[in-house]
Amino acid sequence: MPVLEVVLGDLVAQRVDAIVTAANESLLGGGGVDRAVHAAAGPRLAEAGSALAPLDPGDAVATPAFRLDPPVRHVIHTVGPVWEGGGYDEAAVLASCYRRCLAVADTLGVRSLAVPAISTGVYGYPPAEAARIAVSTLRTTRTGVAVVRLVAFDQGNLELLRSELLAQEVS
Ligand code: AR6
């Protein structure tokens, strides 16, 4: 089980072995965090991603990190669920994203991984519920990844993730 950390900041600035991007099925890049990751990694990221597309919601795949600064060596692309009210298995798909990211990270020998709050931007997932799923899934999944850093991009997500971490640690 990994140690979980929560920080406020830019995913692309994290000094870890691999970062997770919240992609769409084309893996060609898009808005939000995916835009920042593709901008930093350069155009070969979209080339490598599109060769692996389409990627189903809930799944994850890895590419090299291209122009991202070391120590980041891999980008793990995952496709979160689009929030449609909660009746379309969104929670299971979101949990699957986090589990699959860890499984892919394991195949690469990744020890430190930074993840954004998948689906809480363009895809509209309610952030409190998304934070609960992120923390509960990551803290209970068996993995060789030693540290997972949850990167919040705004104060609201930071507080939600922190309180989930506290609540679930004592439960
Ligand atoms: N670092 C960390 N977190 C960030 C950053 C950043 N640089 N930028 C945004 N966030 P989103 P989604 C946060 O929309 O909801 C794209 O077009 C953001 O505040 O990036 O899964 C893809 O190509 C939010 O909390 O991803 C897909 O089409 C979180 O990252 C679609 O958006 C996720 O927001 C995926 O939507």
Q: How far apart are CA 113 and CA 69, in angstroms?
A: 14
Distance 60 CA to ligand 1 centre (A): 16
What would the pLDDT profile of 65-106 be if each residue is shown by its tens digit?
A: 999 999 999 999 999 999 999 999 999 999 999 999 999 999
Look up the pTM and report it: 0.98
Give the DSSP H/E element, type plus range, for residue 140.
helix 127-140
ipTM over 0.95: yes
32 close to ligand 1 (CB < 6 Angstrom): yes
Whose CA is closest to atom 28 on ligand 1? Answer: 24
Residue to probe by mutation, ligand 1, list 6, 125, 153, most atoms within 8 Å of CB: 153
> Which conformational region is residue 39 in: left (phi greater than 0), alpha (psi within -120 to 50 degrees), or beta?
alpha
- Read off the pLDDT band of 169 (50, 70, 90): confident
11 close to ligand 1 (CB < 6 Angstrom): yes
Edge-first strand order for the sheet with 147-152 is: 3-8, 147-152, 112-116, 18-23, 74-79, 60-64
The catalytic position among 34, 56, 59, 89 is 34
Buried b / exposed e over 8-45, threshold 16 CB at 10 Å, is eeebbebebbbbbbbbbeebebeebbbebbbebbeeeb
What would the pLDDT profile of 109-136 be if each residue is shown by its tens digit?
A: 999 999 999 999 999 999 999 999 999 9
The full set of domains in the chain, from first to last, is 3-170 (3.40.220.10)
Active-site residue flag, 154: no
Residue with tokens 């870890």: 16
Q: What are phi and psi of 87, to 5 degrees?
A: -95, 10
- Read off the pLDDT band of 153 (50, 70, 90): very high
